[in-house]
Amino acid sequence: MTIPSDPTPTGPAGTPTGPAGTPSYPADAPPADTAAGHLALPTVAVATYPDYPSAQRAVDYLSDQKFPVEKAAIVGTDLRLVERVLGRLTVGRAALAGAASGAWFGLFIGLLFGIFSNRSWLAVLITTILIGAVWGAIFGAIAHAMTGGRRDFTSRSTLTASQYAVTVQADVADQARQLLTRLNWQTSGAQ
């Protein structure tokens, strides 16, 4: 019987292998745009649109015309973060939002406890909802008070692009252009 001097198997450059196999390095990896083992082809922008629904409508039209949409992509450019201010945030509103979150968590816990309870499951459910709402309100108010007034407003953030390009692989670019030109004629009312 032969015992190897180092029982740890190694990969390239002596790197130990793990449970998932030999690690790969970026230089060894195939191009990022590969799918199902096929090499990625260069892409071409065939149309640009001012908003996402228009680009989505174009790709949907390509799909309706039996175009191989797996060779298409919608690419947003000039991304920007837009934060819409919804209103003032007070300790009371923070406590109310915390109470709502706590009530949902209490509902979840109550449903779990209610399944295994020998007593009235409705009483268990109501109790856990109330306890969750109270603790949520307390934690919401404390969390808001601890910010020291640095963020006394609520907001919603969205990521938007200034334009959306429909790109396709170069080998089907002419077909996509023809179909999208037909779509533009139809939407403009031209015959």
Asked if pLDDT for residue 18 goes beyond 50, the answer is: no
Confidence of residue 19 (pLDDT cuts 50, 70, 90): very low
Quote the DSSP letter at residue 147: T
Domain CATH for 169 = 3.30.70.1370
Same domain, 76 and 128: no
Are 43 and 167 contacting, i.e. CB atoms less than 8 angstroms apart? yes
- The pLDDT tens digits for 122-180 are 888 999 999 999 999 999 999 999 988 788 888 999 988 999 999 999 999 999 999 99
- The pLDDT tens digits for 70-128 are 999 999 998 999 999 998 888 999 999 999 999 999 999 999 988 887 778 888 899 99
Same domain, 101 and 145: yes
**Packing angle, helices 52-64 and 173-188, rounded to 10:** 110
Write the CA distances from 39 to 22, 36, 67, 164, 178, integer angstroms. 22, 9, 20, 25, 26
Same domain, 133 and 106: yes
Please tell me the predicted confidence (pLDDT) of residue 38: 52
**Distance of alpha carbon 51 from alpha carbon 177, whole angstroms:** 19
Please tell me the predicted confidence (pLDDT) of residue 5: 45
Same domain, 54 and 141: no
Write the CA distances from 14 to 27, 30, 84, integer angstroms. 16, 21, 53
Write the CA distances from 184 to 78, 171, 177, 179, integer angstroms. 24, 22, 10, 9
Please tell me the predicted confidence (pLDDT) of residue 139: 96
The overall pTM is greater than 0.85: no
- Write out the residue range of the structural domain in which residue 182 sits: 43-85+162-186
Highest-confidence segment of 37-46, 56-65, 179-188: 56-65
Please tell me the predicted confidence (pLDDT) of residue 40: 65
Confidence of residue 26 (pLDDT cuts 50, 70, 90): very low
Q: Is 13 within a domain?
A: no
Q: Is 11 within a domain?
A: no
Q: How many domains, in total, are found in the chain? A: 2
Same domain, 115 and 129: yes
Same domain, 170 and 81: yes
Q: Is 50 within a domain?
A: yes
Same domain, 51 and 139: no
* Better-predicted residue by pLDDT, 27 or 176: 176
Asked if pLDDT for residue 181 goes beyond 80, the answer is: yes
Q: Is 29 within a domain?
A: no
Same domain, 94 and 147: yes
In 3D space, the residue among 180, 13, 158, 185 whose CA is nearest the CA of residue 82 turns out to be 158
